[in-house]
Amino acid sequence: MPGLRRALLGLWAALGLGFFGLTAVAQEPFWADLQPRVALVERGGSLWLNCSTNCPRPERGGLETSLRRNGTQRGLRWLARQLVDIREPETQPVCFFRCARRTLQARGLIRTFQRPDRVELVPLPTWQPVGENFTLSCRVPGAGPRGSLTLTLLRGAQELIRRSFAGEPPRARGAVLTATVLARREDHGANFSCRAELDLRPHGLGLFENSSFPRELRTFALSPDLPRLTSPRLLEVGSERLVNCTLNGLFPASEAGVYLALGDQRLSPDITLEGDALMATATATASAEQEGARQLVCIVTLGDESRETRENVTVYSFPAPLLTLSEPSVPEGKMVTITCAAEARALVTLDGVPAAVPGRPVQLQLNTTENDDRRGFFCDATLEVDGETLNKNESAELRVLYAPRLDDSDCPRSWTWPEGPEQTLRCDARGNPAPSVHCARLDGGAVLALGLLGPITRALSGTYRCTATNIQGEAVKDVTLTVEYAPALDSVGCPERITWLEGTEASLSCVAHGFPPPNVSCVRSGEAQVMEGLLRVAREHAGTYRCEATNTQGSAAKNVAITVESPPQMNESTCPSHQTWLEGEAAKLACVAGGRPSPQVRCSREGTPLPQQLRVSRQDAGTYHCLAINPHGTDARMVTVGVEYRPVVAELAASPPGGVRPGGNFTLICRAEAWPPAQISWRAPPGALNIGLSSNNSTLSVAGALGSHGGEYECAATNTHGRHSRRITVHVAGPWLWVAVGGAAGGAALLAAGAGLAFYMQSTACKKGEYNVQEAESSGEAVCLNGTGGGTGGGAGPEGGTEPADTAETPAGGEVFAIQLTSA
């Protein structure tokens, strides 16, 4: 049964929580039991109670309670009943059974709780003065049990006071919390509320919360001072005057209300706020119906309080006086009457002459002249209102008609204007009506645009006749216009570039345009001395000069470049008379000429023009004729050209041409072509001794050839432009027997001769700059070879070593010694 199961679960929950003390079942043979014994039910809820006994055969049993029942279920030793709409704070149901002539009983306890569904905050005052206390009161009707209830009063999210009602009787329901709070400025617009909490968590239930609707508090502060009212003491009918009402010490000033009124006329003020200050500004307009004494009132209201100020204002009417002329415009010499009048209470004065009594007019008669034209008349009226004297006036102007006059003050006889800025040319004539003035050049040329803003140009200079005309006549006058203008330096009077010829006479003069006539001076850049008069032109006169023209209207400056030109000139430094070329290279004659403009130099040989650039050969050596030309003349020079060329070993031959037998003699001849002449050097095979050289090293000879004389010989030719070499191979060969016997018999002699030859080579050949490197391999010292350079390469000729082999050219500068190391 679902209901019964819920009743049993409720019973066990109540037992576990221990909300109330439980009565233990009597330890008797038979007993009655009620479950749940103690229960907490939400008001209006329902509950199943289970009544049971251990009596084997109870006679009867039942459940006594005042609560409403909804259903009952029975068994032999039990019954279950559902109680509904439980509202009483506390009830005690009784379970009983009749067993063996005894009555068995079990009592239970059922209590109800009610959530804080209604949390009410008592309404706040409409306005609360700052600095005074107000009451916050919160009421939570019916909620309980009260002992589990907590109430909190809040300002926004801030807790003001919190109270718990723990310890109250279980049957107590509902709660009230009241607090006194001091109103502050910052409380204006703050929300106050109340929060209720019913905490049934100790009884196995939850925490039930609810809050009241927030109530907004409006606080205010109103200064005890009265508003300050600024208003006119007198207000004329139909006029508008500003009225100001100000009050300080308002909070919040934006909530204040302002009432402004003049008599029974309410005004519409504009409100201006600045901090705690308020200013109301309105325009007061008086009508004829309000004439007399009136009150101006200002009332400032804030909260449920107000401050009021009143001022007296007198509304009056004072029309302006009336000034009339019998004729406003008359010809010269006619009589005019002027009248000044006002209302009955006002006293009038015409040009300082007062009326006899208030309300009476004043008159003046005048015989007009030219000087009365545009004469003004002044009519003044005074009125006393509320102890204050008021003034109003009126004016009028008389027009007198007369013929034109051209005075020097209004139309000068001589005008001087600067050129450029726009000006207004005026030639004004007196007269009424205003004359028209026309100025034209006497020669019938230009007409001046009088009275119009326009540019002043030098073309306007001249004499003009000005005629002024109106209906009364005309006037004529001649005027002269002079236009001054700043200097100008143009290319005609002052060219940007001037050319002088050296040795002639010249002067630097620049003509400037301008009025007054400008003064012109020219100074060389970087110098202070002004260039004046004739001078003998020299090259140092060339340069840039700054010419400046000055007059009263300004100045103008211009740079003038002076160029000094001269005829062509050539000398040894610019066109040497002896020049050297190198064969095979591109070359041209090194001839330039001085002079301005730069001369053109042309060179020829035997009448044939020399190419601009040529590949040099030996045939180019010879004498050339060079001519320099510019617009101012010519200059000529004769130049001798020498052609040098790199060395070439033209011939390398052996004599005899074939091989040589041991003990025989042979000669090597080396011939070289070069300019400057080449130096000849040789390189012999390692170990070759007893080598002889000719005085110019062109011939190498060997007497008594040995096997060590066989091998490759190199001849090198060197000059300042390079080096060239060729090689030839010499064979020393004979019968084997002769070689063996000769070698055995002459071994000792050979050794001795070798030692002597080595000494000779070191003592004599070294003087020529030769080194035998192979000998240095065994002795640890270098052996000289005569020569100014060394080289490698080449091989034997096709005829067994007597054919020379060329090597590449090697440039050399000065004496060069080469050391060749051979491998062991």
Write out the DSSP string of 535-555.
Answer: EE--GGG-EEEEEEEEETTEE
Average pLDDT over residues 635-661: 91
Give backbone dihedrals phi and psi of 742, rounded to 5 degrees, phi first.
Answer: -65, -35
Name the token pair of 322.
Answer: 């009336």
SS3 for 221?
A: strand
Q: Which residues contact 472 (CB under 8 A, 6 or more apart)?
A: 331, 401, 402, 403, 404, 431, 432, 433
- Encode pLDDT of 652-665 as tens digits: 999 898 789 999 99
> How many residues are given for the chain?
824
**Residue 528: predicted pLDDT:** 78
Give every CB contact of residue 518 below 8 A, 6+ residues apart in sequence.
487, 512, 549, 550, 551, 555, 556
What is the CA 492 to chain-centroid distance, rounded?
Answer: 50
**353 strand-pairing partners:** 350
Cβ neighbors of 312 (< 8 A, separation 6 or more) are 233, 293, 294, 295, 296
Q: How far out from the chain centre does Cα 477 lie?
A: 65
The answer to whether 381 and 319 have CB atoms below 8 angstroms apart is no
This prediction's pTM: 0.42
Contact 568, 594 (CB under 8 A): yes
High-pLDDT (> 90) share of the chain, %? 45
Query: Each residue of 125-173: pLDDT tens digit?
Result: 999 999 999 999 999 998 989 999 999 999 999 999 999 998 888 888 9
Structure tokens given for 237:
């009918």
Using DSSP bridges, classify how beta strands 277-285 and 270-274 pair: parallel, antiparallel or unpaired: antiparallel
Span 298-320, pLDDT tens digits: 999 998 899 999 999 989 888 88
Please tell me which of 38-47, 384-393, 523-532 the model is most confident about, judged by mean pLDDT.
38-47
Residue 621 clears pLDDT 70, i.e. is over it:
yes
Q: What is the structure's pLDDT at 244?
A: 94
3-state SS class at 16: helix
pLDDT in tens, 228-272: 999 888 888 888 889 999 999 999 999 899 999 998 889 999 999
Mean pLDDT computed over 28-44: 90
Closest by CA position to 254, among listed 204, 292, 298, 220: 220
Q: pLDDT band at 77, cuts 50/70/90?
A: very high
- The confidence score (pLDDT) of residue 796 equals 34
Residue whose C-alpha is closest to residue 606's, from 572, 641, 579: 641
60: pLDDT strictly greater than 80: yes
Q: Is the pLDDT of residue 699 over 90?
A: yes
pLDDT given for residue 612 in this prediction: 73
Q: 10 Å Cβ neighbour count for 702?
A: 22
User: Cα dist. 125→114, 303, 307, 405, 612 in Å?
Assistant: 31, 10, 21, 89, 119
Instruction: Indicate whether 20 pLDDT > 50.
Output: no
The angle that helices 747-763 and 736-745 make with each other, rounded to 10 degrees, is 80
* Residue 630 predicted with pLDDT over 80: yes
Tokens (6 digits) for 493: 């009077």
Six-digit token pair at 359?
């309300």
pLDDT range class, residue 734, cuts 50, 70, 90: low
- Are 331 and 400 contacting, i.e. CB atoms less than 8 angstroms apart? yes
Taking alpha carbons only, the member of 548, 541, 496 closest to residue 522 is 548
Asked whether the predicted pLDDT for residue 819 surpasses 70, the reply is: no
Q: CA-CA distance, 409 to 423, in Å (whole number)?
A: 18
**CA 682 to each of CA 164, 720, 786: distance values in angstroms, whole numbers, following the listed order:** 132, 18, 7
- 254's tokens: 């934006």
Alpha-carbon torsion, ordered 456, 460, 462, 465, to 10 deg: -90
Residue 570: C-alpha distances to residues 527, 598, 599 (Å): 33, 12, 10
The DSSP letter of residue 660 is B
CB atoms within 10 A of CB 265: 15
Encode pLDDT of 354-391 as tens digits: 988 888 899 898 888 888 888 999 999 998 888 888 88
In tens, the pLDDT along 202-232 reads 988 899 999 999 999 999 999 899 999 998 8
Q: How confident is the model at residue 701 (pLDDT cuts 50, 70, 90)?
A: very high
Residue pLDDT, tens place only, 475-511: 999 998 888 988 998 888 899 898 888 888 888 888 9
| DSSP code per residue over 430-453 | EEESPPEEEEEETTS--B--TTSE
Task: Name the maximum alpha-carbon separation found in the chain.
Answer: 184
Q: According to the model, what pLDDT value does residue 649 have?
A: 93
Contact partners, residue 686, CB within 8 Å, separation at least 6: 708, 711, 772, 773, 774, 775, 777, 822
Identify which has the larger pLDDT, 769 or 398: 398
Q: Is the dihedral of CA 731, 737, 742, 743 positive or negative?
A: positive
Is the per-residue pLDDT at 550 higher than 60? yes
Task: Report the alpha-carbon angle 155-158-162, nearest 5.
Answer: 90
* 333 pLDDT higher than 60: yes
Q: What is the pLDDT of residues 81-94, one digit of tens each?
A: 999 999 988 999 99
Other C-beta atoms closer than 10 Å to the C-beta of 608 total 8
